[in-house]
Amino acid sequence: MKILVPTDFSDLSLKAIHVANKYASIFGGKISLIYSHIPITELDEPYAIGMSSRIYQDYEEIEESLKKKLNNIVDEHVDDEHKGEVLVHIGNPAQSVVEISEDFDIIIMSTHGRTGFSRFLLGSVAEKVLRMAKIPVMVVEDESDVGNFEKILVTTDFSDNAVAAYPKALEVAKKTGGTVDILHILSFDQFDDDEADPSIKKIREQRMKLIEKEYFHELGDRVSSYTIVSGDSPHEAILKYSKTTSYNLIIMATVGKTGISYMMMGSTTANVVRHVETAVLSVPPEPDEEG
């Protein structure tokens, strides 16, 4: 398990490092920190590491200083058996993370940091990584309580792409001995008014039971499924439901039915990530499923 953790040296970005260390302890992984920047001195002060504008132009010296700072963070916050390499990259931060991530298994990142990392906020670096990454991305808030990843919520809209989240949820639950709740939101805007009758919910509940048996039978009684009828948008309904239980992790596919509604980035998944305190693991579909 190779884990990539972007950092901007802020205290907020330390949360992702701590979560990555926990994840690595479960999966036996190695953690690599990456710092990426655009070498223009007019962007902020020189990244708050005590460099003058003159010395900032000497990239080799800067790279050495940045790597030293990254290694200091690793030594302080990562267990010895999980220490990987440290990476310094020049260029667009989001693009750098996405390009380098192709050699990794998962990205774990904080949603907020300081402006030195090109505003490490949803809508900027984090959201771009979520949209573009070809590997799973876990986004954590400072308030996220991941515990031992034992209480897992996985969402589905029954699309082929949504299936990509199931193996990851099963993998984590098997490793931690945790439970999986499968959630489907039956929104009123998904069907015509004349179709909105109780039989639809029953049919969806039956499909959820099939998902339990087909994809999560190994968990036995540690898997449950829920179909919620809601007048809210899918992401609002997921937010409300997630507050009813102290989940350690929400697992979602990045793209769902039609590729433009419900589970599409910029819609359900991104909105859930923006608003929940729970850690969210976004799983992209397999390349041959993207069409």
pLDDT tens, residue by residue, 256-286: 444 334 334 446 777 788 778 899 999 988 7
Give the global pTM.
0.84
The two structure tokens encoding residue 25: 């302890």
The two structure tokens encoding residue 151: 């209480």
3-state secondary structure the chain: CEEEEECCCCCCCHHHHHHHHHHHHHHCCEEEEEEEECCCCCCCCCCCCCCCHHHHCCHHHHHHHHHHHHHHHHHHHCCHHHEEEEEEEECCHHHHHHHHHCCCCEEEEECCCCHHHCCCCCCCHHHHHHHHCCCCEEEECCCCCCCCCCEEEEECCCCCHHHHHHHHHHHHHHHHCCEEEEEEEEEHHHCCHHHCCHHHHHHHHHHHHHHHHHHHHHHHHHEEEEEEEECCCHHHHHHHHHCCCCCCEEEEECCCHHHCCCCCCCCHHHHHHHHCCCEEEEECCCHHHCC
Structural domain spans, the chain? 2-140, 151-289
The two structure tokens encoding residue 69: 């700072």
Question: Which pLDDT belongs to residue 42?
Answer: 44
pLDDT grade for 145, boundaries at 50, 70 and 90: very high
CA distance 111 to 116: 14
Q: pLDDT tens digits for 34-73?
A: 998 776 554 445 444 555 555 445 777 888 899 999 999 9
Architecture of domain 151-289: 3-Layer(aba) Sandwich (3.40)
The two structure tokens encoding residue 129: 């990584």
Architecture of domain 2-140: 3-Layer(aba) Sandwich (3.40)
Q: CATH topology of 2-140 equal to that of 151-289?
A: yes
